[in-house]
Amino acid sequence: MADPTGKRTDGAPPTHIHIEKKRTNWLAWLLLALGILALLFGLSRCGHRDAVETTTTTNTSVVAETPTAPKSAALAGTSGLAAYLAGSQPTPQTFTFEKINFETAKSDIRPADQDDVNAVAATLQKYPKAHIRIAGYADTRGNEAANVALGKARADSVKAALVAKGIDAGRIETATGGDKDPVDSNATAPGRAENRRTELVVTQR
């Protein structure tokens, strides 16, 4: 017989009590860790995909001109354009028409602006190697797609007027800025009138 400490009371050698330690299930912990890592990886990939989709869907603006093209003062009697074409400054160079703006939702050139068109045509005739791009713009009224189309129609209208004055159509590109890059506030009627404009970019001298 033995007392609670394992010491024999009958003179026999003491007994040893063996206590088995509880084994840790390492396999279960390993599987749990792998599951957590897989979940974190999946979440990170999902976030990356959302970011790519956002970039893809928001990058839809129309660029009307070379982003690095510096802008000059308005075409006051086209003297600025003539001086530039006679000089040696690098291209491209952007000029804003002094007058050629448009009525709301229209693309036809107003009779009052015809003199500006005639002056540009006369200048281009003096510099037959010059190539230009006409960019048309709109104010922010109307939806984006309609404004993009309206800007292009305005640029095409100016091109047609220049071609009618004898300028080779192959020297003139057209583009649209839609309602982007306003030069004045779209919150006022005078500001919107300024934004319904066209710009001339010299792309080749």
- Same domain? 151 vs 115: yes
- Same domain? 118 vs 36: no
Residue 8 lies in a domain: no
40-54, 95-109, 146-160: which range is least confident on average?
A: 40-54
Q: Is the pTM of this model over 0.85?
A: no
Residue 102 lies in a domain: yes
In the chain, the percentage of residues whose pLDDT exceeds 70 is 66
- Same domain? 75 vs 138: yes
* Mean pLDDT rounded to a whole number for the chain: 78
**50 or 22, which is more confident?**
22
Residue 14 lies in a domain: no
- Same domain? 125 vs 178: yes
Q: pLDDT for 173-188, tens place per residue?
A: 999 999 998 989 999 9
Q: pLDDT for 109-167, tens place per residue?
A: 999 889 889 999 999 999 999 999 999 999 999 999 999 999 999 999 999 999 999 99
- Same domain? 146 vs 195: yes
pLDDT exceeds 60 at position 68: no
> Whole domain around residue 188: which residue ranges?
71-204
Residue 6 lies in a domain: no
- Same domain? 192 vs 124: yes
- Same domain? 164 vs 200: yes
Q: pLDDT for 12-38, tens place per residue?
A: 555 555 445 555 566 767 777 777 777
CATH code for the domain in which residue 127 is found:
3.30.1330.60
Total tally of structural domains belonging to the chain: 2
Long-range contact set of residues 151-157: C-beta below 8 Å, sequence gap at least 24: 151/62, 151/64, 151/176, 151/177, 151/178, 151/179, 152/176, 153/107, 154/102, 154/107, 154/196, 154/198, 155/198, 156/107, 157/107, 157/108, 157/109
- Same domain? 98 vs 130: yes
pLDDT at 80: 86
Residue 12 lies in a domain: no
Residue 64 lies in a domain: no
- Same domain? 83 vs 106: yes
- Same domain? 41 vs 136: no
